[in-house]
Amino acid sequence: MSLTSINQQVKPVKSTPWGRYSIRSLALTYLIVFLIIPILVIFQDGLKEGLSGLWYQITLPAALHSLKLTLWTSAMMTVINTFMGTLTAYVMVRYVFPGKNLLNAIIDLPLAIPTLVTGVMLVIMFGPQEALGSWFNSNLGISIIFAPPGIILALLFITFPFIVRSVQPVLLEMDRAQEDAAATLGASSWSIFWNITRPYLTLPIASGALLSFARAIGEFGAIVIVAGNIPLLSQTAAVYVYGQVESENRLGASAVSLVMMAIAFSSIIFVNYLQKKSKRVG
Amino acid sequence: MSIILDQLTKRYDGLPVVNNVSLEIENGEFFVLLGSSGSGKTTILNLIAGLTGLDKGRILLHGRDVTFLPTQQRRVGFVFQNYALFQHMTIAENIEFGLSIQKVPKSQRQARRDELLELIGMSGLGTRMPKQLSGGQQQRVALARALAHEPDVLLLDEPLGALDAKIRQELRRSLKTIQQKLNVTTILVTHDQEEAFDLADRIAVMSYGRLLEVASPKELYQKPKTEFVASFLGSANLLVGRASQGKIFIGPLEFPDRDKNKRNTDPERVQVLYRPEDVTLAAAKDELSDCVLGYGTVEEISFGGALESVRVKLPSISGVRNIHPPVEFGSELIIVDSIRSPEEAERYPLKVGDQAWVGIHRIHTLEHPGLSFLLPIDGTPLIQETITLAGQIARQAQARVTLLEHSKNDLGDDLILQEARKQLGSGLTTPQTVSMNFSLPDSVSKMVEKQPHDVVILGFDPNKDQKIIEQILNSGNHHLLLVPGKQSLPNNVLVPVAIGEPGKDDIQFSGRLFRHLGAEITLLTVILSDQKQEIMQNRAKKFLEDGVRTLSTMGIQANYLIKVGKPLEEITKELNSGKFNLLTLGSPLSGKSGQISLDGLVWQILMSNSKYATLIVRSQQNNRRDILLKENDIPHILEGVR
Residues B334 and B436 in one domain: no
Residues A175 and A192 in one domain: yes
CA B20 to chain CA centroid, Å, is 12
pLDDT one-digit tens code per residue, B431-460: 778 888 888 888 888 887 777 788 999 888
Contacts of B192 (CB under 8 A, 6+ apart): B160, B161
Residues B249 and B358 in one domain: yes
Long-range CB contacts for residues B57-60, cutoff 8 Å, separation at least 24:
B57/B5, B57/B6, B57/B7, B57/B8, B57/B9, B57/B20, B57/B21, B58/B4, B58/B5, B58/B6, B58/B7, B58/B8, B59/B3, B59/B4, B59/B5, B59/B6, B59/B8, B60/B1, B60/B3, B60/B4, B60/B6
Question: Do the chains contact at B82 and A177, CB–CB below 8 Å?
Answer: yes
Other C-beta atoms within 10 Å of B77: how many? 26
Residues B359 and B378 in one domain: no
Residues A28 and A108 in one domain: no
pLDDT for position A108: 92
The winner for highest mean pLDDT among A68-82, A221-235, B494-508 is A68-82
Q: Which of A17-21, B553-557, B638-642 has the lowest mean pLDDT?
A: B638-642
pLDDT one-digit tens code per residue, B347-382: 899 999 999 999 998 899 887 667 889 988 877 778
pLDDT for position B161: 87
Within a domain: B73: yes
pLDDT for position B630: 31
Taking CA–CA distances from B86, the nearest residue in chain A reads A178
Cα–Cα distance for residue pair B570/B598, rounded to 1 Å: 19
Percent of chain B with pLDDT over 90: 36
Taking CA–CA distances from A282, the nearest residue in chain B reads B87
**Higher per-residue confidence, B430 vs B167:** B167
The answer, yes or no, to whether the previous bond of A204 is cis (omega within 30 of 0) is no
Is A96 in the B-facing interface, judged by CB distances under 8 Å? no
Residue A117 belongs to domain spanning: 54-281
Within a domain: B308: yes
Residues B597 and B614 in one domain: yes
Q: Which of A9-18, B108-117, B433-442, B574-583 has the lowest mean pLDDT?
A: A9-18
What band does B255 get if pLDDT is binned at 50, 70 and 90? confident
Cα–Cα distance for residue pair B26/B548, rounded to 1 Å: 32
Residues A130 and A264 in one domain: yes
pLDDT one-digit tens code per residue, B596-620: 777 778 888 888 888 888 998 887 6
pLDDT for position B260: 67
Cβ contacts (< 8 Å) between A180 and chain B: which residues? 49, 51, 71, 78, 80, 84
pLDDT for position A183: 95
**Is the pLDDT at B120 greater than 70, yes or no?**
yes
Cα–Cα distance for residue pair A106/B471, rounded to 1 Å: 62
pLDDT for position A186: 93
Residues B391 and B331 in one domain: no
**Is the pLDDT at B634 greater than 60, yes or no?**
no
Nearest chain A Cα distance for residue B525, angstroms = 44
Within a domain: B226: no
Within a domain: B40: yes
Residues B558 and B420 in one domain: no
Nearest chain B Cα distance for residue A279, angstroms = 13
Residues B346 and B387 in one domain: no
Residues B361 and B390 in one domain: no
Residues A147 and A23 in one domain: no
- Contact status, residue B116 vs residue B148, Cβ threshold 8 Å: yes
Residue B247 belongs to domain spanning: 234-365
pLDDT for position B52: 92
pLDDT for position B465: 73
pLDDT for position B621: 60
pLDDT for position B159: 93
* Tally of domains in chain B: 4
Which of B 55-94 lie inside 8 A of A, CB atoms?
70-74, 76-78, 80, 82, 84-88
Is B51 in the A-facing interface, judged by CB distances under 8 Å? yes
Q: What is the mean pLDDT of residues B132-146?
A: 94
| Residue burial B350-382, b: 16+ Cβ < 10 Å; e: rest | beeebebbbbbeebbbbbbbbbbbbbbbbebeb
Pairing of β B308-314 and β B292-303: antiparallel
Q: What is the mean pLDDT of residues B311-329?
A: 82
Within a domain: B468: yes
pLDDT one-digit tens code per residue, B62-117: 999 999 999 999 999 999 999 999 999 999 999 999 999 999 999 999 999 999 99
pLDDT for position B195: 93
**Is the pLDDT at B632 greater than 50, yes or no?**
no
Strand boundaries in B549-633, DSSP class E: 558-564, 582-586, 613-617
Nearest chain A Cα distance for residue B149, angstroms = 7
Length of chain B equals 642
**Is the pLDDT at A237 greater than 80, yes or no?**
yes
Q: What is the DSSP letter of A252?
A: H
Percent of chain A with pLDDT over 70: 92
pLDDT for position A282: 45
Question: Do the chains contact at A178 and B87, CB–CB below 8 Å?
Answer: yes
- Contact status, residue A241 vs residue A257, Cβ threshold 8 Å: yes
Cα–Cα distance for residue pair B249/B342, rounded to 1 Å: 31
Cα–Cα distance for residue pair B508/B495, rounded to 1 Å: 11
- Contact status, residue B433 vs residue B403, Cβ threshold 8 Å: yes
Within a domain: B176: yes
Give me the DSSP letters along B413-465. Answer: HHHHHHHHHHHHHTTSPPPEEEEE-S-HHHHHHHHHHHS--SEEEEE--TTT-
**Is the pLDDT at B530 greater than 70, yes or no?**
yes
CA A95 to chain CA centroid, Å, is 27
Residues B173 and B191 in one domain: yes
- Contact status, residue B623 vs residue B502, Cβ threshold 8 Å: no
Question: Do the chains contact at B78 and A181, CB–CB below 8 Å?
Answer: yes
Q: Of the candidates B347, B365, B383, which is a domain's last residue? A: B365
Residues A201 and A231 in one domain: yes
Amino acid type, B591: G
Residues A38 and A150 in one domain: no
Residues B457 and B524 in one domain: no
Burial of A33 (0-12, 13-18, 19+ CB in 10 A): exposed
Cα–Cα distance for residue pair B280/B289, rounded to 1 Å: 11
Residues B411 and B457 in one domain: yes
| B contact test, residue of A180, A185, A197 with most B CBs within 10 A | A185
Within a domain: B638: no
Amino acid type, B523: L
Q: What is the mean pLDDT of residues B217-224?
A: 92
Residues A144 and A248 in one domain: yes
Nearest to B83 by CA among B129, B52, B116: B129
Q: Of the candidates B311, B337, B365, which is a domain's last residue? A: B365
Residues A87 and A62 in one domain: yes
Nearest chain B Cα distance for residue A101, angstroms = 20
Percent of chain B with pLDDT over 70: 91
Is B104 in the A-facing interface, judged by CB distances under 8 Å? no
Nearest chain B Cα distance for residue A274, angstroms = 16
Within a domain: A1: no
Cβ contacts (< 8 Å) between B96 and chain A: which residues? none
Contacts of A260 (CB under 8 A, 6+ apart): A67, A70, A217, A218, A237, A238, A241
Considering only the beta carbons, identify the residue of A177, A199, A200 that sits closest to B84.
Answer: A177
Nearest chain B Cα distance for residue A199, angstroms = 7
pLDDT for position A15: 62
pLDDT one-digit tens code per residue, A37-89: 988 888 888 888 888 889 999 999 999 999 999 999 999 999 999 999 999 99
Q: Indicate which CATH number applies to the domain containing B67.
A: 3.40.50.300
Within a domain: A197: yes
Q: Indicate which CATH number applies to the domain containing B351.
A: 2.40.50.100
Within a domain: A8: no
Which of A 164-183 lie inside 8 A of B, CB atoms?
175, 177-178, 180-183
Pairing of β B30-35 and β B185-190: parallel
Q: What is the mean pLDDT of chain B?
A: 84
What is the model's pTM? 0.73
Phi then psi for residue B186, to 5 deg, are -130, 135
Residues A43 and A126 in one domain: no
- Contact status, residue A164 vs residue A85, Cβ threshold 8 Å: yes
Amino acid type, B134: S
pLDDT for position A154: 95
Rounded to the nearest 10 degrees, the angle between the axes of helix A50-59 and helix A250-281 is: 90
pLDDT for position B633: 34
Percent of chain A with pLDDT over 90: 57
Burial of B572 (0-12, 13-18, 19+ CB in 10 A): middle
* Tally of domains in chain A: 2
pLDDT for position B638: 37
- Contact status, residue B141 vs residue B85, Cβ threshold 8 Å: yes
Going B256 to B262 to B267 to B268, the CA torsion angle's sign is: negative
What band does B538 get if pLDDT is binned at 50, 70 and 90? confident
Taking CA–CA distances from A176, the nearest residue in chain B reads B84
Its ipTM equals: 0.72
Q: Indicate which CATH number applies to the domain containing B531.
A: 3.40.50.620
What band does A178 get if pLDDT is binned at 50, 70 and 90? very high
Give me the DSSP letters along A206-241. Answer: HHHHHHHHHHHHT--HHHHHHTTT-TTTT--HHHHH
What band does A7 get if pLDDT is binned at 50, 70 and 90? low
Cβ contacts (< 8 Å) between B87 and chain A: which residues? 178, 281
**Is the pLDDT at A111 greater than 80, yes or no?**
yes
Within a domain: B339: yes
Residues A25 and A149 in one domain: no
**Is the pLDDT at B642 greater than 80, yes or no?**
no
Considering only the beta carbons, identify the residue of A185, A188, A199 that sits closest to B88.
Answer: A199
pLDDT for position B636: 34
Residues A32 and A75 in one domain: no
Question: Do the chains contact at B78 and A281, CB–CB below 8 Å?
Answer: no
Q: Indicate which CATH number applies to the domain containing A129.
A: 1.10.3720.10
Within a domain: A10: no
Cα–Cα distance for residue pair B579/B494, rounded to 1 Å: 9
Residues A102 and A219 in one domain: yes
Residues B556 and B589 in one domain: yes
Amino acid type, B54: L
Q: Of the candidates B338, B365, B392, which is a domain's last residue? A: B365
What band does B429 get if pLDDT is binned at 50, 70 and 90? low
pLDDT for position B369: 65
pLDDT for position B90: 94
pLDDT one-digit tens code per residue, A136-145: 877 887 788 8
Q: What is the mean pLDDT of residues B301-325?
A: 86
